[in-house]
């Protein structure tokens, strides 16, 4: 009984697992069925609308100017409709080469080649998918281009592609399929290499029917990777690829071994003849290249593979005029020196013309979109504009040429000075002279407020590419990691011109994708994504500063077309650069704008040229200005259409030079100390020059010392203002704070003496002889009119002075004057009226040999002269320690004449 029970339980367990297995099997079948159904549904959706006409859509993409006129057709050497060829026009060597390279069983399969797919799969697995081998037939490639151009490669699309290839094979012949394929594919990097007819002309300057075996093999070889195997760009790879195609043709029996070797012996370089290549108007080439790149960047599509109509803002007349200036009017010193420029509508970011370089052709190196070091060209925005924006500086703000030496960064000015030479000045003057030290100190002030990251955000707000940039102090004078392109610099100044709104620079209005009936509205999106980079106040102030610059001195001769704002810039060679002397010009810029357009121009050498053949721009830095001058003459020939934004509420006023916070100037302010400019709303100062003081003096003491008047002030606070001229704006402008003493007569208030000390305690070099008033106050060393409060003390109370001695001299009742003459025997009487009751009078009588004869201390003194000669009387009056000025009296004693003797006898 027990055994039976165990068997029964074992059976139940088996039944349970069987049920689970059946359940899982059913679920798996449903899942697989669902996946298969999903793929089947999607494949049906993708293939049910098959239209053979789509395979014939071989028109090229076209670019239109601002007036809707076609200016470029992709892949055609005459910019007309693409030339298609029929199968009968294809030489057999080309057919054999293409089939050998792309699809060896093309004429055998039904559009889908299963053996080819299996071989490709096995090869990829065996090489860990490193071989990259594909399994698409020529028909599948034609389907992909016609139906799924630019779409992501999914399994569904791949299966749909197979089904459509089979359908296509049922409806059109193999010969027609091959000709459609060869007419639609491209064969190299150039826009003129799409389609077999254009490619034959591009490489060999001949008709397709004239192609030789090695030429056909070269063209077939490019199909695998047109960019890699274009012999104009990579001759060695193209040659290797051509030889592989020849080997394949030999392998498949299309050519003999001798034919293969003879074809390989033909030099690819000798086969090429580019005289029949794209001959489109080179004046438009740089703009067309920008358009092409913008299409690829904004859509991810290739205009060579996806038919589209591209509507742009190209101003053909302006573009042609700019091209003619470069090619015909400017005198370059050599073939290596290059130029680039961009012109943009300031109100929307639309580029109307560009210069990509000299002798520019399509697919050339476009310097309009190449970054260079901007030098000083960006100072109005990166330095002073940032100060207006973040520090609320006025355009009248005082900047100073001071040496900058922080973190081993010690920039010099263009004249070789490193600061401390050119003194204080307005921002406009600093910009005109382009002093680096002023710009760097301004940048440093802004960094202290917003930090380096804030500066990065500020610049990125202008919608320029800041990739790879790490803002540091060198950016103040153009020392960027990568730099700016002419297009980017143009865009930044367009932002200033329109009042602060940043638009992404662009060439395209919209793109019509032909096969999808989709319009990609590029300009509409740009306008919607416009941002405020700077306030309208800052934009106005930058414009005012730059207007002063561009109308001053020699710059006014370049930009005299009304309302032009401009800034030039030059980047210089450092030390040990290809042997060029340090400080030589490496390249030059000019950035300009008016209410309609903004334009930036660069002139210099490509970096590759510099390394191979280093040269200096010295003597040719004005070429950029010459180009801008000629362009503005043309752009403003019919006047200026728009006007700058009006004053957004700023105040114009005058302030005292060098002071910050600002102090308003008054009628009493010396004109040499007044700067005038614009102030943002609410920033014009309430403090005036009349109310300026130099701190508050708390105490002042003075007394007579042994060598003058000893004085003691309460120490100035802060004490640094008496020792460091750069301590604040007051000391920077007016000099150090000093301790000033003035001495006045206590009765007449006449100023007797003034002296300034550089410390709070000291002795002034003045000893009073009577009571005086001594006044102490703080003042600035270079501005005696701005002082602190004053404190006056009386010094020398009880002190007096003696004036000149009041002396009368007579002889025999007759008054004498000094140098009088009398005869021997006469007496002279001296009398002094004392100035004080306790005065002491002293008479000293000296003969001609200066020997003292007699002294007297009486007020009245008389002496009889018995000996002829010249005598001097010295008279002194003293009262204690005070003495009157000494007085001297000279008399000559003559011998008595005979007549006189006789008279005396009587």
Q: Please give the CATH superfamily to which domain 83-280 belongs.
A: Biosynthetic peptidoglycan transglycosylase-like (1.10.3810.10)
Q: Report pLDDT for 337.
A: 92
Segment 467-480 mean pLDDT: 94
Residues linked to residue 738 through DSSP beta bridges, in sequence order: 779
Domain boundaries of the chain, sorted by first residue: 1-48, 83-280, 339-635, 651-691, 700-795, 806-905
User: What's the CA angle centered on 178, arms 257 and 517, to 5 degrees?
Assistant: 145
Give the list of residues 6+ apart from residue 632 with CB closer than 8 angstroms, or none: 559, 561, 564, 592, 594, 599
Residue carrying structure tokens 């090869």:
123
Q: Model confidence at 770, in pLDDT bands (50, 70, 90)?
A: confident
What's the 3-state SS for 740-788? Answer: EEEEEECCCCCEEEEEEECCCEEEECCCCCCCEEEEEEEEECCEEEEEC
Integer Cα distance of 781 and 41 in angstroms:
93
Would you say 550 and 565 are in contact if contact means Cβ atoms under 8 Å apart? yes
- Judge whether residue 575 has pLDDT over 80: no
pLDDT digits (tens, 9 = 90+) for 234-272: 999 999 999 999 999 999 999 999 999 999 999 999 999
Residue carrying structure tokens 């941002």:
531
Residues linked to residue 808 through DSSP beta bridges, in sequence order: 831
pLDDT digits (tens, 9 = 90+) for 692-746: 889 999 999 999 998 999 999 999 999 999 999 888 888 888 899 999 999 999 9
Would you say 224 and 101 are in contact if contact means Cβ atoms under 8 Å apart? yes
- Sequence-ordered alpha helix ranges (H) in 584-642: 607-612, 623-635
- Does the fold of domain 806-905 match that of domain 700-795? yes
* Nearest 10 degrees: Cα torsion 463, 467, 470, 471: -20
Integer Cα distance of 880 and 698 in angstroms:
38
Integer Cα distance of 719 and 20 in angstroms:
94
Q: How far apart are the first and last CA of the chain?
A: 206
- Judge whether residue 500 has pLDDT over 80: yes
Integer Cα distance of 54 and 142 in angstroms:
10
Exposed e or buried b per residue across 279-316, where buried means at least 16 C-beta atoms within 10 angstroms of its C-beta: ebebbbbbbbbbbbebbeeebebbbbbbbbbbbbbbbb
Integer Cα distance of 138 and 175 in angstroms:
11
- Domain 339-635: which topology? Beta-lactamase (3.40.710)
Largest Cα–Cα distance in the chain? 206
**Token digits of residue 153:** 């490669």
661 prior amide bond cis, ω within 30: yes
Give the list of residues 6+ apart from residue 137 with CB closer than 8 angstroms, or none: 103, 106, 109, 111, 112, 113, 116, 165
pTM: 0.65
Integer Cα distance of 459 and 382 in angstroms:
8
Hey, which CATH number is domain 806-905, 2.60.40.10, 3.30.2080.10, 2.30.30.240, 3.40.50.300? 2.60.40.10
- Judge whether residue 503 has pLDDT over 80: yes
Q: How far is CA 354 from the centre of its chain?
A: 20
Would you say 890 and 816 are in contact if contact means Cβ atoms under 8 Å apart? no
User: What are the C-alpha distances in Å from 639 to residues 566, 597, 635, 718?
Assistant: 18, 12, 8, 58
Exposed e or buried b per residue across 652-681, where buried means at least 16 C-beta atoms within 10 angstroms of its C-beta: ebbbbbbbbebbbbeeebeeebbbebbbbe
Among residues 327, 339, 330, 293, the alpha carbon closest in space to that of 312 is found at 293
Integer Cα distance of 626 and 266 in angstroms:
49
- Judge whether residue 130 has pLDDT over 80: no
pLDDT digits (tens, 9 = 90+) for 341-371: 999 999 999 999 999 999 998 778 999 999 9
Give the number of C-alpha atoms closer than 13 A to the C-alpha of residue 453, restricted to the C-beta side.
0
CATH of domain 700-795: 2.60.40
């Amino acid at each position: 009984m027990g055994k039976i029970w165990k068997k029964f339980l074992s059976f139940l367990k088996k039944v349970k697992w069987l049920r689970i297995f059946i359940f899982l099997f059913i679920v798996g079948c449903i899942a697989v069925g669902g996946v298969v159904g999903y793929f089947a549904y999607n494949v049906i959706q993708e293939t049910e609308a098959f239209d053979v006409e789509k395979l014939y859509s071989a028109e090229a993409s076209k670019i239109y100017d601002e007036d809707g006129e076609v200016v470029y057709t992709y892949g055609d050497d005459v910019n007309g409709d693409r030339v298609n060829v029929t199968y009968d026009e294809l030489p057999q060597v080309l057919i054999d080469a293409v089939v050998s390279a792309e699809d060896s069983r093309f004429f055998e399969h039904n559009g889908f080649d299963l053996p080819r797919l299996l071989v490709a799969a096995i090869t990829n697995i065996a090489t860990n998918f490193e071989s990259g081998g594909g399994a698409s037939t020529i028909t599948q490639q034609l389907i992909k281009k016609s139906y799924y151009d630019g779409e992501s490669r999914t399994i569904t699309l791949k299966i749909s592609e197979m089904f459509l290839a089979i359908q296509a094979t049922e409806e059109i012949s193999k010969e027609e399929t091959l000709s459609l394929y060869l007419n639609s594919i491209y064969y190299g990097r150039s826009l003129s290499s799409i389609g077999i007819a254009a490619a034959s002309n591009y490489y060999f300057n001949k008709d397709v029917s004239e192609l030789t075996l090695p030429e056909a093999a070269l063209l077939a070889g490019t199909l695998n990777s047109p960019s890699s195997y274009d012999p104009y760009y990579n001759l060695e790879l193209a040659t290797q690829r051509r030889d592989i195609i020849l080997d394949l043709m030999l392998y498949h029996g299309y050519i003999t071994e001798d034919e293969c070797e003879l074809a390989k012996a033909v030099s690819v370089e000798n086969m090429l003849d580019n005289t029949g290549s794209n001959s489109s108007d080179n004046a438009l080439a740089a703009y067309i290249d920008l358009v092409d790149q913008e299409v690829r960047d904004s859509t991810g599509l290739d205009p060579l593979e996806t038919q589209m109509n591209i509507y742009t803002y190209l101003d053909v007349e302006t573009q042609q005029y700019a091209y003619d200036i470069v090619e015909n009017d400017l005198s370059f010193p050599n073939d290596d020196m290059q130029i680039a420029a961009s012109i943009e509508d300031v109100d929307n970011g639309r580029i109307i013309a560009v210069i990509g370089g000299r002798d520019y052709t399509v697919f050339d190196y476009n310097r309009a979109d190449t970054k260079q070091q901007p030098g000083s060209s960006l100072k109005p925005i990166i330095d002073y504009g940032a100060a207006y924006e973040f520090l609320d500086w006025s355009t009248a703000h005082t900047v100073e040429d001071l040496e900058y030496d922080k973190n081993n960064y010690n920039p010099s000015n263009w004249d070789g000075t490193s600061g401390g030479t050119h003194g204080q000045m307005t921002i406009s003057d600093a910009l005109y002279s382009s002093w680096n030290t002023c710009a760097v100190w301004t940048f440093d002030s802004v960094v202290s407020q917003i930090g380096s990251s804030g500066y990065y955000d500020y610049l990125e707000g202008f919608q320029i590419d800041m990739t790879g940039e790490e803002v540091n102090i060198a950016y103040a004078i153009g020392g960027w990691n990568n730099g700016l392109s002419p297009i980017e610099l143009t865009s930044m100044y367009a932002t200033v011109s329109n009042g602060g709104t940043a638009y992404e620079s662009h060439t395209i209005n919209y793109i019509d994708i032909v096969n999808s009936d989709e319009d990609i509205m590029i300009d509409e999106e740009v306008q919607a994504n416009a941002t405020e980079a700077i306030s309208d106040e800052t934009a106005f102030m930058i414009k005012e500063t730059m207007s002063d610059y561009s109308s001053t001195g020699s710059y006014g001769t370049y930009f005299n077309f009304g309302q032009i704002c401009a800034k030039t810039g030059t980047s210089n060679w450092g030390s040990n650069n290809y042997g060029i002397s340090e400080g030589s010009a490496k390249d030059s810029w000019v950035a300009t704008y008016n209410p309609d357009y903004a334009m930036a121009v660069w002139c210099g050498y490509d970096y590759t040229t510099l390394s191979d053949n280093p040269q200096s721009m010295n003597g040719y830095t004005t070429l950029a200005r010459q180009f801008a001058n000629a362009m503005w003459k043309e752009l403003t020939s019919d006047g200026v259409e728009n006007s700058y934004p009006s004053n957004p509420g700023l105040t114009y006023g005058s302030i005292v030079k060098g002071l910050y916070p600002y102090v308003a100037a008054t009628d009493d302010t010396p004109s040499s100390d007044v700067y005038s400019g614009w102030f943002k709303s609410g920033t014009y100062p309430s403090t005036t020059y009349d109310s300026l003081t130099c701190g508050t003096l708390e105490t002042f003491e003075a007394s007579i010392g042994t060598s003058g008047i000893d004085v003691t002030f309460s120490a100035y606070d802060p004490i640094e203002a008496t020792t460091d001229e750069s301590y604040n704006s007051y000391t920077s402008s007016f000099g150090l704070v000093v301790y000033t003493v003035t001495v006045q007569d206590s009765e007449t208030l006449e100023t007797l003496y003034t002296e300034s000390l550089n410390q709070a305690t000291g002795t002034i070099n003045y000893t009073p002889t009577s009571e005086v008033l001594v006044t102490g106050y703080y003042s600035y060393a270079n501005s005696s009119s701005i002082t602190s409060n004053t404190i006056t003390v009386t010094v020398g109370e009880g002190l007096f002075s003696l004036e000149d001695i009041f002396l009368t001299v007579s002889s025999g009742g007759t008054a004498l004057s000094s140098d009088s003459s009398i005869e021997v025997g006469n007496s002279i009487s001296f009398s002094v009226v004392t100035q004080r009751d306790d005065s002491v009078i002293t008479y000293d009588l000296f003969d001609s040999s200066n020997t003292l004869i007699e002294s007297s201390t009486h007020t009245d003194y008389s002496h009889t002269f018995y000996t002829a000669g010249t005598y001097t009387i010295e008279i002194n009056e003293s009262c204690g320690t005070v003495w009157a000025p000494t007085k001297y009296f000279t008399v000559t004693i003559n011998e008595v004449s005979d007549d006189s003797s006789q008279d005396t006898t009587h």
